[in-house]
Amino acid sequence: MKQSSEELSWEEGVARYLRNNPDYFERHEDLLEVLRIPHKGRGQAVSLLERQAAVLRERLAAKDRERQSFLAAARENEALAERLHKLAVALIDAASLDDVFGSVYDLGRNQLKLDAVTILLGVDGGPLGGRPEFVAPDDGRLRRAQALSRERPLCGPKAVLAEVRGLLGPDEARIGSVALVPLRDPVRSGLLLFGSHDRERFPAGVGTMYLGRLGELVMRAVAQQLDRA
């Protein structure tokens, strides 16, 4: 049965009065035990005090879950910052390209426990042309991946890179999510690609600040080694 506008107005008036007079039940404590409110999930009525306690418990539980989520994110960010710092130290100490690439592969495969780590850099031929990380600057796979990222880190399911085949290694068919990190300096460009079997490891829309910093560190270290060659 629909309530008339007069009934709704009367209910709104009662609700407004109680909101404006939160001490009402302090002056009428007897009503706290008399008033009965349906309890969600129980199928039975409870007193106002019981209902209020239940609401407070639900809110506290929600706040605790939120707090735990923040703490987990903070711990994860702290761990990422520590790994990034260790990588930076390793890259500073790197004496060769083997050291640079080895440090990046170690970070991805051993520390982050990822299932695929790929480095591609657009470099003209010469004595470095035989390295698997170096491809021609106009390599189609590199150009398409760079177009997808638009010069910023990109995360998401494997479908994000569906048109770029053969970049995730022999285990490519099992990769569920990817992170694409552009590598760029004034004269060179490339990409760092991480892959995981876990579809939720690199969800679309996740923060990419650390990935961006990682790309800057790696490109700087690579450029230093190439300039010495």
Render pLDDT for 176-194 as a digit per residue (tens, 0 to 9): 889 999 998 888 899 999 9
pLDDT score of 1 more than 50? no
Residue 154 near residue 144 (C-beta atoms within 8 A): no
d(CA 225, CA 105): 17
d(CA 97, CA 43): 69
More confident position, 32 or 122: 122
More confident position, 121 or 3: 121
* pLDDT at position 36: 66
Tell me the pLDDT tens digit for each residue of 66-111: 888 878 777 877 887 888 888 889 999 999 999 999 999 999 999 9
d(CA 193, CA 145): 10
| Mean pLDDT of the 105-124 span | 91
Average pLDDT of the chain to the nearest whole number: 82
Confidence of residue 18 (pLDDT cuts 50, 70, 90): confident
* pLDDT at position 108: 92
* pLDDT at position 117: 93
Confidence of residue 215 (pLDDT cuts 50, 70, 90): very high
Percent of the chain topping pLDDT 70: 83
Residue 135 near residue 142 (C-beta atoms within 8 A): yes
d(CA 151, CA 95): 28
Token code pair at residue 68: 């735990």
User: Over the range 94-114, which residues count as b (16 or more CB within 10 Å of their CB) and which as e?
Assistant: beebeebbebbeebbeeebeb
Pairing of β 134-135 and β 154-157: unpaired
* Number of Cα atoms under 13 Å in the Cβ half of residue 11: 6
pLDDT score of 7 more than 60? no
Predicted TM-score (pTM) above 0.75: no
* pLDDT at position 217: 93
User: Over the range 124-153, which residues count as b (16 or more CB within 10 Å of their CB) and which as e?
Assistant: eeeeeeeeebbbeeebebbbebbebbeeeb
Does residue 180 sit in helix, strand or coil?
Answer: strand
pLDDT score of 6 more than 80? no
Tell me the pLDDT tens digit for each residue of 44-65: 555 666 767 777 888 888 888 8
Determine the longest span between alpha carbons in the chain, in angstroms: 91
Which of 50, 19, 56 minimizes the C-alpha distance to 37? 50
